[in-house]
Amino acid sequence: MSSSQGFKPEWLPSPNFNARKNNQKPRFIVIHYTAMDTCEAAIGRLCTPLHEVSCHYLISGKGMVYQLVKENERAWHAGAGEWKGLEDLNSHSIGIELANQGNHPYALPQIYSLEAVLRHLMSTWAIPIHNIIGHSDMAIGRKFDPGYKFDWRALALNNLSIWPKKETSEAVNVSEFVSLAKALGYSFPNRGSDKGSIKPLLECFRARFRPWARGELNSLDMGCVHSLVFQDE
C-alpha cells in the first residue's frame, strides 16, 4: 500500500478542514485513536460538520484506509496543544486516526496499513521519524491517544518512530528531565491544579516510551530521555 506500490485509500471527504495558515507544508504526523465503538461511527463523526473534527486518514481495525482530507489541507484533528514550540499543529501536521477505543491492542492489519501510510507520507513530505508523534505528546494531560496499547517500539523497529537505543540509568534530576523532554519537543504544562508538577509530562512520556513504568520520576526515566536526546552523538 506504499506510494511505490500504488497507495490508493478510499476517498470519504470530510467538510471539516480549511487552508493551512501561511501555506505551511506538513512537517509532523500525529497519530490518534478514535475512542469510538466502530469505524463506521468514527466516519460519521469525522465527516459531519456538526462536530467540527476530522483527520487526513482513518484506518479501520481490518486495515482499510480512508482519506477524509487532502494532505495539503488543514484537517481539524490536533486541537489545543504544543509541540516543538508550535501551537497550531493542525497547520503543521497530518492526522491519522486509528479505529480503536484505546483499551485493547491494535490489530496487525491496522498496523500494517499504518506503516504503509507513514512511509507514503514520509516520502511525499520528507517527514523524519522524530516528527512522528502521538496526540498525547502534543496535548499533555488533555489527550491520551494512541494510548498504552499502541506499540511504538514495533514502529521503531521498522524505522518509523524514535526509541531509546538502550536502557540506561541516570541520576534523578527533575529540572534536567523537563529540559531534555523539551528538547525532544514536549511542553511543560504549568496551568491549573498541576501547576509546577511534572506528573502530566511524566505520564505522557511514559505512555510513549515506558508504558510499564509507575510511580515517581526515576533513574530509568532519566536514562531513557538521555538516550533519546543524545542517541545520535
Look up residue 182 and give its three cell numbers.
523539551
Q: What is the distance between the alpha carbons of residues 231 and 179, in angstroms, rounded to a whole number?
A: 16
> Is the distance from CB of 226 to CB of 171 less than 8 angstroms?
no
Burial tier of 115 (Cβ tally within 10 Å: 0-12, 13-18, 19+): middle
Q: Cα–Cα distance between 78 and 81 in angstroms, integer?
A: 8
Q: Which of 97, 176, 216, 233 is catalytic?
A: 97
223 within 8 A of 170, measured Cβ to Cβ: yes
Rg of the chain in Å (alpha carbons): 17
Chain-centroid distance, C-alpha 113: 16
Grid coordinates representing 148 are 498504552
Q: What DSSP element (H or E) covers 222?
A: helix 219-230
Does 97 qualify as catalytic in the annotation?
yes
The cell numbers describing 125, all together, are 513530505
> Catalytic positions, please?
97
